[in-house]
Amino acid sequence: MKVIRLKKFGEKRFVAKLWELHKAENLYDKRNHGWFEYLITTWDESKYLDWFFLMDNDNLVAFSTIQRFYSGAYRVLTRLYITREYRRFTVPKDDKFYSPSMRLLTTQLEFIEQSRTLFVSLQGTSRMNAANRYVKKLIKTTDLKWQLDPHMRLTCPDAENKECWQNIIYTGEEPKMWAITRDDWNIQYG
């Protein structure tokens, strides 16, 4: 498997893949379905530094991008999508598998020359066990000091949208983003 960037994967091919995913309405893509249509018209916004595609020969395994969040802060593995054939639906407690997301992350970290904060985000409060396992996997894979933020953080401008409040796993400086406790999030949105 190898990671390639958008220029090599092809813009038209990427947009066609987004349309295909949007039209498919696969049950296992339910969580991501809303953003396939959104990305069809916004994938080339300047906030996305580049797109990364994990390939198994000519087969697409996964894709994601890096989002410049503010000066010196980057959300990595954002808009991560792993195709059904390569997706695992449960992650063991002691995960030694070099997953598609870790393969993409390794390349994304090489792409970012300097940063003060790097983070990944996860939706919802019901995935805390998975988030804690993911922290361990990030540390093991990158040798960086990742930590799960104790709060939900505002990751998009609409504070009234529950999807904009996400769990953040970060390395470097604490993210400069609005915060809410998970208990408050559950009261308001859960």
* pLDDT higher than 60, residue 77: yes
Query: What percentage of the chain exceeds 90 in pLDDT?
Result: 67
The pLDDT assigned to 33 comes to 59
Of the listed ranges 52-61, 78-87, 106-115, 151-160, the least confidently predicted one is: 78-87
Q: Which tens digits make up the pLDDT trace of 55-64?
A: 999 999 999 9
Q: How confident is the model at residue 89 (pLDDT cuts 50, 70, 90)?
A: low
Q: How confident is the model at residue 135 (pLDDT cuts 50, 70, 90)?
A: very high
The pLDDT assigned to 118 comes to 98
* pLDDT higher than 90, residue 189: no
Domain that holds residue 140: 2-189
Q: What is the mean pLDDT of residues 23-35?
A: 65
| Alpha-carbon distances of 168 from 23, 41, 112, 160, rounded to whole Å | 30, 26, 19, 18
Distance between CA atoms of 183 and 190, rounded to whole angstroms?
A: 9
* pLDDT higher than 70, residue 20: yes
Cβ within 8 Å of residue 162, ≥6 positions away = 185, 188, 189
Amino acid identity of 106? T
* pLDDT higher than 60, residue 27: no
| Alpha-carbon distances of 188 from 143, 149, 185, rounded to whole Å | 36, 19, 5
Q: Are the beta carbons of 5 and 52 closer than 8 angstroms?
A: yes
pTM (2 decimals)? Answer: 0.89
Which residue carries 């396992």 as its tokens? 133
**CATH code for the domain of 98:** 3.40.630.30
Cβ within 8 Å of residue 167, ≥6 positions away = 121, 122, 123, 124, 125, 127, 128, 131, 148, 149, 152, 153
The pLDDT assigned to 84 comes to 84
Question: How many domains are contained in the chain?
Answer: 1
The pLDDT assigned to 184 comes to 94
The pLDDT assigned to 97 comes to 63
The pLDDT assigned to 29 comes to 59
- Per the prediction, the chain carries an average pLDDT of 89
Q: Which tens digits make up the pLDDT trace of 159-173?
A: 999 989 999 999 999
